[in-house]
Amino acid sequence: MTNDAGESVIAIDGPSGSGKSTIARGVAVALDLQVLDTGAMYRAVALAALEAGVGLDDEIGCAALARKHVIDVDSGVTRIDGRDVSAEIRGPDVTAAVSAVAAHPEVRTVLVAHQRAWVAEHGAGVVEGRDIGTVVFPAARLKVFLTASDDERARRRQRDEVASARVVRVDDVRTALVRRDALDSGRAVSPLRPADDAVMVDTTDRDVDDVVAELVTRARAAGIG
C-alpha cells in the first residue's frame, strides 16, 4: 500500500486514558466516517495468547495466533472468529498482557496489514491507536496526539473499571498506566510517540464535545468530511 492510500485518514494517537476512543467515535459520527480501534486488535491477540497458553514473550507463537484468527473490530464490537470478545479484552488480565504482545514486531506486521486493508476497504476513516500517524498512515491528512495528566487518565480508567463492575484503587490504576506508558514508549518497534506534524491536544480539563468540535473543524480544513 502506498502512503497515498492513507491520506483520507484521521489518525488519533495517545496513551491510555487520554480520551482516544471517545473522541475518535465523536469525530467519526460528526463526519459520517467509520472508526477503527487498533488497540482492540492487539488486545484480541493478547486474549488469544492467554486462552491458548502461548507465552506473552513468544513472538512466533503470538504472530501465528494473529494470522490464524479472524479478528474483526467494527462499531465498537471486537470479535475473534465471530465470537464477541468486547468485554473480555478490557479485563485486567488482557490489559496487563497487551503491551508485551504489542511489542512483537511480527505481531505488528500482521495487524498493520489488517489496519491498512480496513482503510483500503472503507476509503476513509478515523483510526485510533499508538502508531497510526507515525507508522501505519504517515500520510494521513490529519494527525492528532492526545495527552492528559496522569491523575486525570487514572481517574478516567478507574471510572471505566467501576462501570465494568471491577473495583480498583485509583493509585493502582495510575501505577499501571505509568508502567504501560513506559513499555509502549520504550519498545523498539513503533513506539508510542507523536508524529512530527501531529496536532497536540491536552484533554485534561477539556470537555469531550469541545475537543471533538476542534478536530472536526481541523479535519474539514484538511479536506476530510
Determine the residue type at 128: E
Banded model confidence at residue 1, pLDDT cuts 50, 70, 90 = very low
Banded model confidence at residue 3, pLDDT cuts 50, 70, 90 = very low
* Residue-range definition of the domain harbouring residue 118: 3-221
pLDDT at 39: 96
| Concatenated DSSP letters of 131-180 | SIIIII-TT-SEEEEEE--HHHHHHHHHHHHHHTT----HHHHHHHHHHH
Summarize pLDDT for 79-123 with one digit per residue, the tens: 999 999 999 999 989 999 999 999 999 999 999 999 999 999 999
Percent of the chain with pLDDT over 70: 95
Q: Which residue has the cell 482516544?
A: 20
Lowest mean pLDDT among 18-27, 79-88, 151-160: 151-160
The mean pLDDT value for 161-179 works out to: 77
Percent helix / strand / coil, the chain, rounded to 5: 55, 15, 30
Determine the residue type at 113: A
Domain count, the chain: 1
Q: Is the pLDDT of residue 175 over 90?
A: no
CB 133 within 8 A of CB 1: no
Nearest to 26 by CA among 155, 197, 203, 180: 203
Determine the residue type at 164: S
More reliable by pLDDT, 167 or 41: 41
The domain that holds 215 is classified in CATH as 3.40.50.300
pLDDT at 4: 52
Query: What pTM was estimated for this model as a whole?
Result: 0.91
Summarize pLDDT for 23-80 with one digit per residue, the tens: 999 999 999 999 999 999 999 999 999 999 999 999 999 999 999 999 999 988 999 9
